[in-house]
Amino acid sequence: MTSFNFILCALFVIPQISLSSDDCRAILQSAGATKEFGGRVGHAIHSLSVRNLKQFKPDVNETNQVPTVNLNLTSDIPILSYAPDRTTPDSHMFLLDGSIILDEILSHMDDKSYNLKNYNPLEQIVHTFHMEEMWASALIDYRNFEVDPPADEVCQCVMDIENNGILMKLRQTALIIREPNLMLGYGQERAERRCSENASSPGCSFFKSIGKSLPPLNSAKAWKRWKMDSGAMKGKDTALFLYCALNNNNGSNKNFKNIEWNQKYHY
């Protein structure tokens, strides 16, 4: 994998006509994105893998432009510039996606520094299926974008992850995954305020799930609480991002070698 990514370092960024953040906000909303575009997309894409992306576009490989959180929690690189291939050499034994997902998770079950820290294998499985639900929902909207693609200008704003909130959300997600004890309750106040104003506002259940309110998954009663956060969420923002990331020829120069990419976004 390392040597494979090394090849990518030869590619450089070609500046495009830059659109301001304000322009982009308006452009994204006129393309059907919600006001929470960056946060929603950052959350939805953080654990995507090549296997998932192949459902959107069959020829996707690790040379893709979908940034993700590194599930290897001891790596110096918290955010990857691409969605990795997480299948194991045994994946071919399985016909069902569900079995492949179990194989991907359980093959790391002895590694406490992989995937969500403090989550036991059952909780990791639930979290992964929650994400799979989200991608299944995004796939429906993605098919519509294939028929009626967004304009170049829209994709330029979609791929400007430094300014549209996607990278910020990925960083926050990486922190929560790596240091759950330090991040306990993070976002809780805002979520509580928002949820008391309107219990169905977007992101409400996700923010709640970060705090103490999510019990260990060891009883049917606890599952009832987990289930609240586990269903599909509206996928249009994510579909828009994935359409641009997987089909945007202009952006193909954005495949940085990981180290360079992380330095670029370091401050």
What is the distance between the alpha carbons of residues 131 and 123, in angstroms, rounded to a whole number?
12
Interactions with ligand NAG, residue window 74-93 (CB under 6 A)? 74-75
Interactions with ligand NAG, residue window 100-129 (CB under 6 A)? 111, 114
Closest residue by Cα to residue 77 from 253, 254, 245, 261:
261
Handedness of CA 118, 169, 263, 80 (dihedral sign): positive
Query: With binding defined as CB under 6 A, does residue 200 bind ligand NAG?
Result: yes
For ligand NAG, what does the binding mask look like between residues 238 and 257, x meaning CB under 6 A? -----------xx-------
Closest residue by Cα to residue 262 from 137, 193, 174, 136:
174
Burial class of residue 12 in the structure, from the number of CB atoms within 10 Å of its CB (0-12 exposed, 13-18 middle, 19+ buried): exposed
Interactions with ligand NAG, residue window 35-64 (CB under 6 A)? 61, 63
Contact 179, 54 (CB under 8 A): no
Query: With binding defined as CB under 6 A, does residue 202 bind ligand NAG?
Result: yes
Using the contact rule CB under 6 A, the part of the chain among 92-100, 195-203, 215-223, 232-240 near ligand NAG is 195-203
Query: With binding defined as CB under 6 A, does residue 20 bind ligand NAG?
Result: no
Query: With binding defined as CB under 6 A, does residue 196 bind ligand NAG?
Result: no
Number of residues in contact with ligand NAG under rule CB under 6 A: 17
- Count of C-beta atoms within a 10 Å radius of residue 190: 11
Query: With binding defined as CB under 6 A, does residue 72 bind ligand NAG?
Result: yes
DSSP letter at 114 equals B
Residues that bind ligand NAG (CB under 6 A): 16-17, 61, 63, 72, 74-75, 111, 114, 152, 156, 198, 200-202, 249-250
